[in-house]
């Protein structure tokens, strides 16, 4: 896409108790080298560039917290501390023919560093003026709203950042900070991974998304559709589960059970396939049969109502005796239910205690396992079950000293505890369901006991009344009518819920159809061709930077994780390295057939791999067959890590200088050696910004720092 970001000038203005201090420099469109000895302030300039761009999170913090003390606390000059009262960074840059000047305050009373001032003119180079546009950053909406700085910067650079899936299931815009993480490498942590210092914004597989965007693949549209379908599927499943629980809970409260109701979404759901069973003293009865029986009972009571006055008291006494026996049965059943509920609650409490104990044991065992693993990495004898003093075998348990019975090792114990916790969780869930069902049964029994007592009172009243109509008969009719109405209302409520499931089923079917129409492969043939080119350019760069840890021809590019790997080699170390170096060079890999090339490289060779990766991102994007989205800017702070060979640094600078549509800024000390500097820059075209003892000097913001 050609050069999209060209930093023209930077000015650091600091007011102190000892007068004005600062720094100012002008950059070329191609390679720029900021040379200075260690502690001269190279990183201060790099940090200031990132701060002006709103990218200080790549250093590790937001706002002034990310910057060195000289920009916000005090300036040391001539063995005297001059305390900072006010400071700011002003940077002029160009993109696609348009020049803007950004001013961002570091320290100033009454001004929040989240506020950025923008003038759409060349303030530093030409002294132009323009109305100030105020934008904000590091706050909600700074990448979405028109007033947000990242929105402005994205539009200024001509980027169209894609939507990517967030860990919460929603779609968010790919953060601009992620893009700059692949272009700006700071000294302290930037050389620890291919794209290091990624701020955590909750984007899944952020590094892969960065590479896909810079190289210009077409995966984002398909990924957005997949993510939308995944999110929709999750919502459908949640809605279905909610409706399922609503139906079953409603049934429980009405002493019913639902049968043939799918727990999870299904295609072409039919409400007619669902049936209901009513719980009675005689057992489960089909709901339609129950309603029919209740209607018949109501008719019988209506007929008996007219005969009641002519009936003898003996008949009423028999009814009282029958109802008394029924009340006794209900009371016994209720007491048994209460006892069962007590047992369930006791079992739940016991399970909770056992689960807590298992989780504590698991935590202790996992901590012990970590210590053993770290010890094994350090090759400690005790981690291999060997006494470092006498070389005798030692176990993981004190009982090993006196018993020959085998004990589980830590790994087996951890697996056992995990399975035990899962078993207890499942058991607890079952107990909770049993408690819920038992409580519903007990409530129903309590309700029937109350009804039976009411009926007994009415029957006893009938023995001494001269009324034409039996109170007991009327009360029983009322209870039956209420039970019939309750069943009808339950069915009516469920009809609405079942219609909801029909709608969810149709949406689920459409979701599956849409998912089936998506391409099976993640990358198209055109995208795979881009990554094939990426692999070729990467190997070429690795070779030119004098990489020696593995044969160049064995290096392959894995399109699954977008990392270079060694082909057909598993966990093979090319160099024997100590623990700290191996830890620094290691990085994860998703490949099953190859080994991560970072683990197979010396420390300096891994830095060469990072050089190659960062530069290949630009070169692939800029290739005429690709036309990707790289802004054409690279910032490297001390790329010569781990006593890097001078000829490798020369190769890097030659590459950067030869890339005519790339602006690169390299801050380097060259081991504080003129000979190393001359050798590393031999026949390289670049603009030199040579620092003195200190970058920040009195009135330094008024004079350009140059050769």
Name the residue with tokens 């160009």: 94
Taking 90 as the threshold, does the pLDDT of residue 15 lie above it?
A: yes
Backbone angles phi, psi at 88, to 5 degrees: -160, 165
Whether 465 has a pLDDT exceeding 70, the answer reads no
Model confidence at 610, pLDDT cuts 50, 70, 90, reads very high
- Split at pLDDT 50, 70, 90, the class of 605 is confident
More confident residue, 404 or 97: 97
Backbone angles phi, psi at 466, to 5 degrees: -105, 15
**Do 260 and 141 share a domain, yes or no?**
no
Is the pLDDT assigned to residue 400 strictly greater than 60?
no
Range ranked top by mean pLDDT from 216-220, 290-294, 318-322: 216-220
What's the whole-number mean pLDDT along residues 315-336?
Answer: 79
Please indicate, yes or no, if residue 526 is contained in any of the structural domains.
Answer: no
To the nearest 10 degrees (0 to 180), the angle between helices 525-544 and 206-215 is 100
Residue 377: how many other CB atoms lie within 10 Å:
12
Distance (Å, whole) CA 541 – CA 552 = 10
**Inter-residue contact 159 to 629 (CB < 8 Å):** yes
At 517 the pLDDT is: 85
SS3 460: helix
Query: What integer pLDDT is reported at residue 271 of this predicted model?
Result: 87
Which segment, 333-342, 463-472, 599-608, is predicted with the most confidence on average? Answer: 333-342
pLDDT of residue 23: 94
Summarize pLDDT for 131-148 with one digit per residue, the tens: 999 999 998 888 888 899
DSSP structure class, residue 482: H
Final residue in a domain of this structure, among 461, 489, 516: 516
296 with 441, same domain: the answer is yes
Helix (H, G, I), strand (E, B) or coil at 366: helix
Whether residue 271 sits in one domain with residue 138: no
The CA dihedral of 318, 321, 323, 324, to the nearest 10 degrees, is 170
Quick one: average pLDDT of 151-167? Answer: 91
Q: What is the mean pLDDT of residues 26-36?
A: 95
Closest by CA to 556, choosing from 529, 585, 580, 536, is 536
Residue 611's closest CA among 648, 658, 662, 574? 648
Q: What is the pLDDT of residues 571-586, one digit of tens each?
A: 223 443 443 333 333 3
Distance, CA of 41 to CA of 32 (rounded, Å): 16
In a 10 Å sphere around its CB, with 0-12 CB exposed, 13-18 middle and 19+ buried, how is residue 521 labelled? Answer: exposed
The pLDDT of residue 508 is 94
Tokens of 8: 């023209």
Rounded to whole angstroms, the Cα distance separating 201 from 428 reads: 36
Examine the domain organization and report whether 292 and 423 are in the same domain: yes
Instruction: Indicate if the pLDDT at residue 665 is higher than 60.
Output: yes
Q: What is the mean pLDDT of residues 640-667?
A: 91
**Top-confidence residue, 235 or 450:** 235
Last residue of a domain, one of 484, 516, 548: 516
Q: Is the pLDDT of residue 90 over 60?
A: yes
Asked whether residue 155 falls in the same domain as residue 252, the answer is: no
- Position 570 pLDDT exceeds 60: no
- Any residues with CB less than 8 A from the CB of 632 and at least 6 apart, and which? 1, 2, 3, 4, 5, 618, 622, 661, 662, 663
The percent of residues in the chain predicted with pLDDT above 90, rounded, is 41
Q: In whole angstroms, what is the distance from residue 319 CA to residue 299 CA?
A: 18
Q: What is the DSSP letter of 277?
A: E
CATH number of the domain residue 254 falls in: 1.10.287
- Does residue 612 belong to any structural domain of this protein? no
In a domain, 412, yes or no: yes
268 and 392 together in one domain: yes
pLDDT of res. 592 = 42
CA distance 528 to 492: 57
State whether 263 and 154 are in the same domain: no
Listed range (5-19, 329-343, 467-481, 558-572) with the worst mean pLDDT: 467-481
pLDDT tens track for 531-546: 999 999 999 999 999 9
The model's confidence at residue 392, banded by pLDDT at 50, 70 and 90, is low
In this structure, of 275-279, 374-378, 393-397, the range with the lowest mean pLDDT score is 393-397
pLDDT over 50 (residue 589): no
Name which of 505, 560, 553 is nearest 244 in CA terms: 505
Over the chain, what is the mean pLDDT?
83
Give the distance from CA 602 to its chain's centroid: 32
Instruction: Establish if 567 belongs to a structural domain.
Output: no
Most confident residue range from 310-319, 428-437, 458-467: 428-437
Quote the pLDDT of residue 137. 93
Residue 291: both structure tokens together? 């309603």
Q: What's residue 238's pLDDT?
A: 93
Looking at the fold, whether 144 and 282 belong to one and the same domain comes out as: no
Handedness of CA 524, 527, 531, 536 (dihedral sign): positive
CATH number, domain with residue 8 = 3.40.50
What is d(CA 224, CA 165) in angstroms, rounded to the nearest whole number? 7
CA distances from 406 to 162, 395, 403, 603 (A): 58, 10, 8, 43
Token readout for 296 is 């018949």
Q: Which of 4-8, 475-479, 582-586, 641-645 has the lowest mean pLDDT?
A: 582-586
As given in the structure block, the two tokens for residue 41 are 């302030």
Q: Is residue 19 part of a domain?
A: yes
Q: How far apart are CA 63 and CA 247, in angstroms?
A: 53
Contacts (Cβ under 8 Å, ≥6 apart) of 571: 595, 599
Residue 58, domain extent:
1-159+686-707
Q: What is the model's pLDDT at position 540?
A: 94
In the predicted model, what is the mean pLDDT of residues 112-139?
94
Is residue 7, in this structure, part of any structural domain at all?
Answer: yes
Q: Looking up tokens 């910067």, which residue turns up?
A: 153
Q: Which of 705, 703, 704, 692 is nearest to 39 (CA)?
A: 692
| Cα angle 17, 699, 24; round to 5 | 125
Question: CA 482, 483, 485, 489 torsion: positive or negative?
Answer: positive
Q: Specify if 611 maps to a domain.
A: no
Q: What is the separation of C-alpha 501 from the centre of its chain, rounded to a whole number of angstroms?
A: 31
Q: Report residue 311's pLDDT band, with 50, 70 and 90 as the boundaries.
A: low
pLDDT of amino acid 390: 57
Q: Which helix (H) or strand (E) holds 526?
A: helix 525-544
Assess if residue 376 is contained within a domain.
Answer: yes
Confidence at residue 578, expressed as pLDDT on a 0 to 100 scale: 42
Sign of the CA dihedral running 180, 183, 188, 192: positive
Cβ–Cβ < 8 Å for 171, 163 = yes
How many domains does one find in the chain? Answer: 2
446: CB partners within 8 A, 6+ apart: 334
Q: In residues, how long is the chain?
A: 707
Over range 346-369, report the average pLDDT.
89
Rounded-to-integer distance, Cα 607 and Cα 614, Å: 11
Residue 636: pLDDT over 70: yes
Distances (CA, A) of 300 to 67, 304, 313, 326: 91, 6, 19, 20
Contact 135, 147 (CB under 8 A): yes
Which band of pLDDT confidence, cut at 50, 70 and 90, is reported for residue 301? low
Tell me the pLDDT tens digit for each residue of 672-684.
Answer: 899 999 999 999 9
148 and 263 assigned to the same domain? no
CA distances from 68 to 71, 106, 669 (A): 6, 11, 18
Whole-number Å distance between alpha carbons of 584 and 423: 40
Helix (H, G, I), strand (E, B) or coil at 6: strand
Higher pLDDT, 323 or 117: 117
pLDDT bracket for residue 593 (50, 70, 90): very low
Q: Is the pLDDT of residue 437 over 80?
A: no
Band (pLDDT 50/70/90 cuts) for residue 591 is very low
Residue range 235-261: mean pLDDT, rounded: 86
Residue 642 predicted with pLDDT over 90: no
Collapsing DSSP to helix, strand or coil, 667 comes out as strand
Average of per-residue pLDDT across 634-650: 90
What does the block give as tokens for 640?
């010569």
Helix %, strand %, coil % of the chain (to 5): 50, 15, 30
- Residue where a domain terminates, one of 516, 543, 563: 516
The DSSP code for 271 is: G
Let me know whether 142 and 257 are in one domain.
Answer: no
What is the CB neighbour count within 10 angstroms for residue 540?
A: 15
Distance, CA of 413 to CA of 366 (rounded, Å): 10
CA angle centred on 628, ends 101 and 48, rounded to 5°: 30
Phi first, then psi: give them for residue 20, nearest 5 degrees.
-80, 140
Q: Which residue has the tokens 């079950």?
A: 385
Claim to verify: residue 264 and residue 412 sit in the same structural domain: yes
The counts of H helices and E strands in the chain are 15, 21
| 150 shares its domain with 11 | yes
Residue found under tokens 């200088």: 657
Beta strands in 150-274 (DSSP E): 163-165, 171-173, 184-185, 256-259
pLDDT tens across 278-298, in order? 766 666 777 777 777 777 766
pLDDT, position 192: 86
């Amino acid at each position: 896409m050609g050069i999209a970001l060209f930093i023209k000038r930077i000015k650091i203005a600091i007011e102190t108790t000892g007068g004005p201090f600062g720094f100012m420099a002008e950059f070329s469109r191609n390679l720029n080298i900021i040379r200075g000895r260690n502690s001269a302030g190279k990183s201060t300039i790099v940090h200031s560039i990132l701060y002006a761009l709103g990218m200080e999170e790549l250093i590790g913090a937001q706002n002034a917290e990310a910057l060195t003390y000289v920009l916000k606390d005090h300036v040391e000059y001539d063995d005297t501390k001059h305390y900072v009262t006010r400071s700011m960074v002003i940077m002029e840059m160009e993109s696609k023919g348009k020049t803007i000047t950004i001013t961002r305050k570091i320290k100033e009373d009454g001004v929040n560093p989240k506020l950025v001032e923008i003038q759409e003119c060349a303030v530093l180079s030409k002294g132009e003026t323009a109305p100030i546009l105020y934008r904000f950053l590091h706050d909600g909406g700074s990448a979405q709203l028109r007033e947000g700085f990242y929105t402005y910067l994205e539009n200024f650079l001509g980027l169209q950042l894609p939507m990517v899936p967030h860990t919460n299931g929603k779609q968010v815009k790919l953060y601009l900070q992620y893009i700059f993480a692949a272009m700006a490498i700071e000294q302290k942590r930037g050389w620890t991974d291919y794209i290091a210092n990624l701020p955590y914004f909750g984007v899944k597989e952020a590094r892969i998304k960065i590479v896909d965007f810079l190289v210009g693949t077409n995966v984002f549209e398909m990924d957005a559709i997949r993510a939308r379908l995944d999110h929709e599927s999750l919502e459908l499943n949640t809605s279905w589960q909610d409706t399922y629980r609503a139906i079953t809970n409603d049934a429980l409260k009405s002493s019913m059970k639902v049968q043939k109701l799918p727990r999870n979404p299904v295609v072409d759901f039919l409400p007619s396939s669902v049936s209901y069973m009513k719980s009675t003293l005689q057992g489960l009865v089909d709901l339609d049969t129950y309603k029919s029986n209740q209607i018949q009972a109501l008719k019988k009571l209506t007929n008996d109502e007219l005969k009641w006055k002519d009936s003898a008291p003996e008949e009423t006494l028999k009814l009282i005796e029958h109802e008394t026996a029924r009340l006794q049965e209900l009371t016994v059943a209720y007491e048994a239910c209460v006892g069962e509920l007590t047992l369930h609650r006791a079992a739940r409490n016991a399970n909770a205690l056992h689960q807590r104990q298992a989780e504590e044991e698991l935590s202790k065992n996992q901590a012990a396992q970590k210590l053993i693993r770290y010890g094994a990495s350090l090759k400690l004898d005790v981690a291999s079950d060997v006494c470092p003093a006498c070389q005798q075998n030692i176990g993981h348990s004190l009982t090993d000293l006196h018993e020959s019975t085998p004990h589980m090792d830590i790994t087996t114990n951890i697996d056992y505890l995990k399975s035990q916790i899962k078993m207890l969780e499942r058991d607890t869930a079952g107990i909770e369901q049993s408690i819920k069902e038992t409580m519903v049964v007990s409530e129903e029994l309590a309700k029937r006991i109350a009804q039976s007592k009411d009926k007994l009172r009415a029957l006893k009243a009938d023995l001494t009344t001269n009324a034409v109509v039996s109170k007991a008969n009327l009360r029983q009719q009322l209870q039956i009518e209420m039970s019939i109405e309750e069943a009808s209302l339950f069915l009516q409520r469920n009809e609405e819920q079942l219609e909801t499931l029909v709608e969810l089923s149709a949406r689920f079917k459409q979701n599956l159809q849409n998912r089936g129409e998506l391409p099976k492969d993640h990358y198209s043939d055109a995208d795979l061709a881009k990554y094939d080119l990426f692999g070729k350019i990467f190997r070429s760069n690795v070779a030119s930077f004098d990489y020696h840890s593995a044969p160049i021809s064995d290096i392959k590019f894995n399109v699954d994780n977008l990392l270079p790997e060694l082909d057909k080699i598993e966990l093979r170390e090319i160099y024997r390295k100590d623990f700290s170096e191996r830890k620094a060079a290691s990085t994860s890999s998703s490949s099953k057939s190859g080994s991560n090339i970072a683990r197979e490289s010396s420390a300096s060779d891994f830095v060469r791999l990072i050089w190659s990766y960062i530069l290949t991102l630009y070169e692939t994007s800029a290739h005429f067959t690709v036309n990707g989205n790289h802004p054409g800017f690279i910032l490297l702070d001390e790329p010569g890590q781990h006593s890097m060979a001078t000829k490798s640094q020369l190769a890097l600078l030659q590459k950067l200088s030869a890339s005519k549509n790339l602006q690169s800024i390299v801050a380097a000390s060259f081991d504080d050696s003129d000979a190393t500097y001359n050798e590393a820059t031999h026949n390289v075209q670049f603009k030199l910004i040579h620092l003195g003892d200190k970058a920040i000097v009195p009135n330094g913001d008024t004079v350009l720092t140059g050769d």
